[in-house]
Amino acid sequence: MMKKQSNVQVTATATGNNNNETDNENHITYDEFSILVRRIDRMEYSIGSIVSRIDNVLTKLELLEKGKMKRREALTRILNSISEDDKLSKEMKHERLEKMIRDELEETNLDRQTPIQNLNQKTKTPGAPGSGHSH
């Protein structure tokens, strides 16, 4: 911060040494300079905060896009599986389709949960409060 101050003061005093009016026009006081430095610091902090928020939004959008791609791939796999199984009966195709969709939904639900939710779900024991099981 001191470096900024000295550069401005040197520049302000170096110009107009020969003319008193020019010197007064270009010269700023230390208090004025300090106020400007504080305002610039606040602006830099605000800009940093905004950039951080934008980065967070972009990260979340990236995650959403990856989720879309995973779902699209899963649907493609399921549809390809159905079209390739000409030898299976209609009932077998239906059961296989149900199982694939159920598996995919379970996987998607696990992907959407936060690490804390995953941990809570894994540590629940039968009969524990909130587990849905009772003795």
Quote the CA–CA distance of 62 and 11 in Å, as a whole number: 47
- Write the CA distances from 57 to 2, 60, 110, 111, integer angstroms: 36, 5, 22, 19
Cβ atoms of 82 and 97 within 8 Å: the answer is yes
Provide mean pLDDT across the span 1-11.
Answer: 43
Question: How does pLDDT run across 75-122, given as a tens digit for each residue?
Answer: 888 888 777 767 777 788 788 888 888 888 888 777 666 556 555 555
Give the three-state DSSP class for 17.
coil
The pTM (predicted TM-score) of the whole model is: 0.48
The whole-angstrom separation of Cα 69 and Cα 55 is 21
Residue 20 is given by DSSP the state H
C-alpha angle 26/28/29, rounded to 5°? Answer: 155
pLDDT at residue number 105? 81
**pLDDT value, residue 23:** 58
Residue with tokens 């879309």: 68
Query: Residues 12-53: pLDDT tens digits?
Result: 444 444 555 555 678 899 999 999 999 999 999 999 999 999
